[in-house]
């Protein structure tokens, strides 16, 4: 107990020095948590520390692998979707001169917006399926709830009316938010390029 008190005091003092204060914070209070959980037994404390290290390492590995796979799939969906839509636009809306055909500007913009929105719906459904399949999360016990949570996370709205439990996949929702920011930005840039290209056609009265 004396050693524990000394260690906590040292960590508290070092946190006030303004250098590596977060490292000292973690070092101090992790030791306290492990010691309390091990009931002040040195042998138990070692076992608890090893167990927590294994759980944390495996958890981060699993979350990272799942996140990488989901992000990769959604990026591929968006890449193939925008690529094929550009080819479709080139065949149906754009003339040989690279500008929109007469009276095709408005249909091109509307159909582009709808197509990009549908791509996001597919990506949101993919994340919702991951929440339902990969972990039995009690707060997402139906697909409708998982879909709703995926929408507000993907769009970074974050209403907070549905949250994930502390021990279950909270890290995954953060990665989905980053994924959503990336893909929504991609959509915005693509739609802006279409509108920008339509400007010359509109200026000519087409």
What pLDDT score does 26 carry? 57
Q: What is the pLDDT of residues 71-88, one digit of tens each?
A: 999 999 999 999 999 999
Q: What is the pLDDT of residues 150-202, one digit of tens each?
A: 999 999 887 777 777 655 567 788 889 999 999 999 999 999 988 887 776 66
Strand boundaries in the chain, DSSP class E: none
User: Within 10 Å of residue 70's Cβ, how many Cβ atoms?
Assistant: 20
Q: What is the pTM of this model?
A: 0.69
What's the half-sphere exposure (Cβ side, CA atoms, 13 Å) at 43?
0
Answer for the pair 36, 9: CB distance below 8 angstroms, yes or no.
no
Q: Which residues contact 14 (CB under 8 A, 6 or more apart)?
A: 20, 21, 24
Ordered structural domains, the chain, with CATH: 59-203 (1.10.287.70)
CA gap 69, 31 in Å, rounded = 35
């Amino acid at each position: 107990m004396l050693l524990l008190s000394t260690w906590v005091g040292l960590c508290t003092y070092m946190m006030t020095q303004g250098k590596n204060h977060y490292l000292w914070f973690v070092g101090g209070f992790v030791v306290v948590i492990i010691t309390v959980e091990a009931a002040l037994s040195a042998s138990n404390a070692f076992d608890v520390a090893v167990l927590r290290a294994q759980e944390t390492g495996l958890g981060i590995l699993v979350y990272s692998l799942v996140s990488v796979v989901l992000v990769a799939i959604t990026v591929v969906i968006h890449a193939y979707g925008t690529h094929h839509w550009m080819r479709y636009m080139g065949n149906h809306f754009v003339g040989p001169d690279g500008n929109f055909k007469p009276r095709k500007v408005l249909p091109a913009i509307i159909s582009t917006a709808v197509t990009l929105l549908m791509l996001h719906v597919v990506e949101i459904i993919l994340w919702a399926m991951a929440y339902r399949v990969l972990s039995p999360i009690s707060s997402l016990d139906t697909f409708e709830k998982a879909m709703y949570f995926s929408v507000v996370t993907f769009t970074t709205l974050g209403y907070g009316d549905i949250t994930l439990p502390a021990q279950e996949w909270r890290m995954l929702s953060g990665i989905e938010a980053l994924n959503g920011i990336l893909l929504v930005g991609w959509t915005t840039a693509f739609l802006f390029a279409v509108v920008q290209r339509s400007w010359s056609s509109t200026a000519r009265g087409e």
